[in-house]
Structure 1
Amino acid sequence: MTSDLRLTVLGSATPYPSVDNPCSGYLVSNGDTRVWVDAGTGTLAELQRHVRLDELDAIWISHLHADHSADLLTAYYGALFADMRLAAPIPLYGPQGIADRLAHFLTNTSSRSPIESAFDVHELHDGHQVRVGALTLTSRAVAHGIPAFALRIEAADRSLVYSGDTAPCAALTSLAEGCDLLLCEADSAQPPTEGEQVHHTPEDAGDTADAARAGRLIVTHVGRSLTPQQAVTRASTRFDGPVDYAAPGATFSIG
C-alpha cells in the first residue's frame, strides 16, 4: 500500500513569530488522518486554513517552550467555549507535566480549569509509540536541556522524522535512520563556545541527515541571525541529498 503522507508548515519562526511566519507548528496528514505537530505561537490560525480543531486526530508537542506549545492555551478555549462541540477530548501527546502546566496558566479561580475536557492527555517517554488513524508515531527523548522529544511518523511505505529542538544526538540519528524526510531545526549560527549545546547548526542538520541516510532534509526553526538560504546552503555542504527550507505555508509530499 502506498501512503499519501504530507507535511504542511504552519510556521517555523523562533523564538517569536515574525509578521509573516508563526512559530513552530506543522500539520501532518495521510488520507483522513491529521495530526497537529507542535503548537507554537500563531499556528492555530494557520491550522484552520486546513482543518478545524474538532477534526484533528491528535496533537503532539515536542517540548514546553512557548514557541512550540503556546497555542494550546487558545486551542483550549476554542475546543470548549466557542463554535464547536467535541465528540471527545482531543488526544494530546506531550512531555511529562503538560496538563498541569496548561492548567496552571488557565486556572483563574479556586477551581482548576478542566484541561482534560478539551485534551485527552498522554505523557511521552523515550520510545513511546502510538497508532493514530493511518499513522504510527514514535517518540524519542533528545538533548535540549529540558524534557524534549523528536518524532518519527510512518504511514505504510513512507516516513517523516521531526527533530523538535535538540542538539545533535544519537537518539535523533537512530530515530531518523532511513527516513524519507528529516525535518530538522537549524537554530544556531555557530556551535556554542562554552556550555551545553541545545540546538543544531545548519551543518549539524546536514550531518544528522547524512548519518541517518535520510532521503531529504528540510531545515526549520532557523535562527534569526541566519537567512533561510544561508541555512540551506550551509546544510548542503554536509548532506548530498535535496535540502529545502520549511517556508510557512509550504506543503511537502513524503516519498
Structure 2
Amino acid sequence: MPDGRLDLTVLGCATPYPTADNPCSGYLVSSGNTHVWMDAGSGTLGPLQRYVRLDELDAIWISHLHADHSADLLTAYYGLLFSDIDLPSPIPLYGPPGTADRLAHFLTNTPTRSPVESAFAVTELYDGHRATAGPLRLTSRAVSHGIPAFAVRIETEGASLVYSGDTAPCPSLTELAEDCDALLCEAESDRPPSEGEQVHHTPEGAAATARTAGAARLIVTHVGRFLTARQAVTRAAARYDGPVEHAASDVTYSIG
C-alpha cells in the first residue's frame, strides 16, 4: 500500500458474548502485506481467515484478558501447532501482564505446562510500550478498566488509528488519540455510571474523547446490548462535529 493508508477490518464487535451474526471484539489492521490481529474475542478466528491465514499474521495485540477480547487465542494456539499451519516461528503476541501464564493455565490438563511459547512470542505490555510490525508502529497506553488494560495507536507514515480497548474515559487515551485520523472507541454503556463504577465509555463519552483529542473521525464499537448501533451513532454525533460511524462486522474501513 504505497500511500501509507491503513485498512481496518472489523471481525466482530459484540459484547459481552457473540450474537448470531457478530463475533466479539476483534479487528484486522493491515498495511500492504503487513497484518495485525487486534483483540481476539470469542468467534473472531473464523472471520479472520477470510482475509489472512494465521501464519500470515505479523503480530497479535490484545487489549485485556476478558474473554470477549482474548478467548480465541486458545483455538488459535491449536491451529498454529496442531493443524494445517506450518509455523516458521512463534507469532509476536503483545498482551497485558500474565498473558502467557493465563493461556497456559487454561490449556494445561496435565502437570506439564502447555508450551504456549511455541505458538506465541509473548511480550507483556506496559504504559508507553512501543513495537513495530513491518511499516506499522504500535504505541500502547494503560487505560482505566479495573484490570490491566491498554489502548493502542497504530501508525504508518500516512495514517494513524487509535483503538481504545475497553476503558472509561481517561487522560492516557485522550493523549494517545491526539490528532489521529480515526479513533475506534468502545461505547458499551448506555447511561452514565454511578460514582466510582465507570469502566466503559458511553456514546457521549466516546464523542468527548474524540473531540478533546482532535480525532478526525470517530468509529464507535463494542456497543452494549441495551443500545442499537444507530442509537449509539446518533448520541455520539450530537457531541462531536466530525464523521461518526459504527464498526460494522465484516466491513473494511480505509484510514488516512
Normalising by the smaller structure, the TM-score range is: over 0.9
Task: Give deviations 1:105-154, integer Å, cap 9, x for gaps.
Answer: 00011111110000000000000001111100000000000000000000
Aligned to 1:30: 31
Give the Cα separation in 2 of the matches to 1:149 and 1:128.
10
Aligned to 2:111: 110
Does residue 1:77 correspond to 2:97, yes or no? Answer: no
Give the Cα separation in 2 of the matches to 1:250 and 1:170.
30
Query: Identity across aligned pairs (percent)?
Result: 73
Give 3-state SS (helix, strand or coil) of 1:207's partner.
Answer: helix
- What residue identity is the alignment partner of 2:71? A
Give the Cα separation in 2 of the matches to 1:156 and 1:136.
9
Aligned to 2:69: 68
Aligned to 2:21: 20
Equivalent pair of 2:5/2:158 in contact (CA under 8 Å):
no
Aligned to 1:55: 56
TM-score (normalizing by structure 1) = 0.99
Q: Which runs of no fewer than 5 residues in structure 1 stay unpaired?
A: none
Give the Cα separation in 1 of the matches to 2:219 and 2:27.
13
Runs of 4+ in 1 over 3 A off after TM superposition: none
Give 3-state SS (helix, strand or coil) of 2:3's partner.
Answer: coil
Give the Cα separation in 2 of the matches to 1:158 and 1:247.
21
Aligned to 1:241: 242
Give 3-state SS (helix, strand or coil) of 2:101's partner.
Answer: helix
Query: What is the Cα-based RMSD across aligned positions, in Å?
Result: 0.7
Q: Summarize the alignment of residues 47-196 of structure 1 with structure 2, pairs less than 5 Å apart.
A: 47-196=48-197
- What residue identity is the alignment partner of 2:141? R
- What residue identity is the alignment partner of 2:216? G
- What residue identity is the alignment partner of 2:224? G
Give 3-state SS (helix, strand or coil) of 1:101's partner.
Answer: helix
Deviates more, 1:188-197 or 1:6-15: 188-197
Does residue 1:206 correspond to 2:217, yes or no? Answer: no
TM-score (normalizing by structure 2) = 0.99
Give 3-state SS (helix, strand or coil) of 1:36's partner.
Answer: strand
Give 3-state SS (helix, strand or coil) of 2:245's partner.
Answer: strand
How far apart are 1:2 and its partner, in Å? Answer: 2.6
Aligned to 2:232: 231
Give 3-state SS (helix, strand or coil) of 1:64's partner.
Answer: coil
- What residue identity is the alignment partner of 1:100? D
Give the Cα separation in 1 of the matches to 2:195 and 2:17.
25
Task: Give deviations 1:7-30, integer Å, cap 9, x for gaps.
Answer: 000000000000000000000000
Task: Give deviations 1:211-232, integer Å, cap 9, x for gaps.
Answer: 0100100000000000000000
Give 3-state SS (helix, strand or coil) of 2:75's partner.
Answer: helix
- What residue identity is the alignment partner of 2:128? G
Give the Cα separation in 2 of the matches to 1:186 and 1:196.
15
Give 3-state SS (helix, strand or coil) of 1:112's partner.
Answer: coil
Give the Cα separation in 1 of the matches to 2:156 and 2:31.
7
